[in-house]
Amino acid sequence: MVWDIHINCMALDAQKTGYSIDEEIPPRVIALSGGIGGAKLVLGLSNIIPDESLLAVANTGDDFEHLGLSISPDIDTLTYTLAGINNQEMGWGRAGETWTFMKALASLGGENWFNLGDGDLAIHIERTRRLAAGESLTSVTRTFAKRLGISVQILPMTDDPVRTIVQTEEGEMAFQHYFVRERCRPVVISFNFEGAESAHVNPEIIKALSDPALKAIVICPSNPFISIDPILSVPGMREALRKSAAPVLAVSPIVGGQSIKGPTAKMMIELGLPSAALSVAEHYKNVIDGFILDRVDEMYSEAVKGMGIAVQVSNTLMNSMEDRVQLAKEVLKFADGLPGKKEF
């Protein structure tokens, strides 16, 4: 496989350029990710390339302050998934979770619309404490990853606060109010990313994107509007993606007109877009060089190619670890086979 050869070359590169095992190896693959769907592909990628050469850029538009705690759902989903301590039965949160806190909170009359598991609380309390002590979100995220034995780099898109606000027919609401408290029920009109205009892209991401040896930038099958757009909204991010030597690929989160998980399809309908993989390609057309469609959506191949975007058709459902690894392999192989970077 072409990519296997590349991995060997990467190892060789590392030797040649004199990186020691303790030094930071510049990432060869960057994945832009929201929560659960994105984390699955990142996990797949981490199974086929050295962990140290993979960088996951996490959406922080979902972050919020609740009960005085700083909560970063997408960072935590990536962290728990890569540490192998994610709750596979629930599909979110930590494995072996208990719920004593929520019951006690309810008895005290506390706000209990957002479920916080007892074990999950540890990451929120310790993050809140560290942030209050002046640490950056990047540093906190790295500390936790290290403690949990994760070698994949997880970086928040920015250390500045960006908060997704959902404009709905019932008015404006903070993301988690829309997503969790209202269970995505209100009809969406648009989104804005409060704070994004003055936020700075994490400088480590800029550095990684500008590395000439970077092989691929993968937009995971996350929600384009609320997981990926917040990342793209940080000034300088789109430009850095455009200038990168590596191709930008997106995996469609819409398969057969449905979202695998979450409200993507519902949102598309409310936004007046056909709920189809084609709409996702259209949404990303100024950002991506390649698009991975599910087999059931092969019919859109020509239309996507017509936008000047290369197409790969794969099985994009990631029910098993085998699926994740297989999709990750096909994504990297696709990146490898793409011609030079597209000009915008």
- Residue 97 interacting with its own copies (CB under 8 A): yes
**Which two tokens mark 176?**
């988690």
Q: Which of 30, 123, 278, 335 binds its own copies (CB under 8 A)?
A: 123
Q: Which of 9, 19, 47, 69 binds its own copies (CB under 8 A)?
A: 69
- Residue 105 interacting with its own copies (CB under 8 A): yes
Contacts of 172 (CB under 8 A, 6+ apart): 165, 166
DSSP, collapsed to helix, strand or coil, labels residue 187 as: coil
Instruction: Count the alpha carbons within 13 Å of 1 in the hemisphere toward its beta carbon.
Output: 15
- Residue 108 interacting with its own copies (CB under 8 A): yes
- Residue 134 interacting with its own copies (CB under 8 A): no
Binding segment (CB under 8 A) for its own copies, from list 96-104, 150-158, 208-216, 258-266: 96-104
Q: Which of 18, 109, 134, 171 binds its own copies (CB under 8 A)?
A: 109
Q: Which of 9, 148, 271, 307 binds its own copies (CB under 8 A)?
A: 148
In terms of DSSP bridges, do strands 29-33 and 216-219 run parallel, antiparallel, or are they unpaired?
A: parallel
Task: Report, in Å, the least distance between residue 236 CB and its own copies.
Answer: 31
Backbone angles phi, psi at 210, to 5 degrees: -90, 0
- Residue 100 interacting with its own copies (CB under 8 A): yes
**Segment (H or E) for 177:** none
Task: Report, in Å, the least distance between residue 153 CB and its own copies.
Answer: 18
- Residue 91 interacting with its own copies (CB under 8 A): no
State how far the Cα of 56 lies from the Cα of 153, in Å rounded to an integer.
6
> Which alpha helices (DSSP H) does 57-154 contain, by range?
73-83, 100-107, 118-132, 137-147
Q: Report, in angstroms and rounded to the nearest whole number, the Rg of the chain calculated over CA atoms.
A: 19
Contacts of 66 (CB under 8 A, 6+ apart): 111, 114, 116, 176
Of 127 and 215, which CB lies nearer to its own copies in the complex structure? 127
Provide the β-strand partners of residue 56: 31, 154
Task: Report, in Å, the least distance between residue 291 CB and its own copies.
Answer: 38
DSSP, collapsed to helix, strand or coil, labels residue 188 as: strand
Binding residues for its own copies, total number by CB under 8 A = 33
- Residue 206 interacting with its own copies (CB under 8 A): no
Binding segment (CB under 8 A) for its own copies, from list 49-57, 109-117, 199-207, 312-320: 109-117
Of 20 and 107, which CB lies nearer to its own copies in the complex structure? 107
Task: Report, in Å, the least distance between residue 121 CB and its own copies.
Answer: 5
Q: Which of 13, 87, 114, 126 binds its own copies (CB under 8 A)?
A: 126
State how far the Cα of 281 lies from the Cα of 303, in Å rounded to an integer.
9
- Residue 135 interacting with its own copies (CB under 8 A): no
Place of tokens 């962290």: 79
Of 83 and 213, which CB lies nearer to its own copies in the complex structure? 83
Q: Is the dihedral of CA 218, 223, 226, 229 positive or negative?
A: positive
Q: Which residues bind its own copies (CB under 8 A)?
A: 67-69, 94, 96-98, 100-105, 107-110, 117-123, 125-126, 128-129, 132, 143-144, 147-148
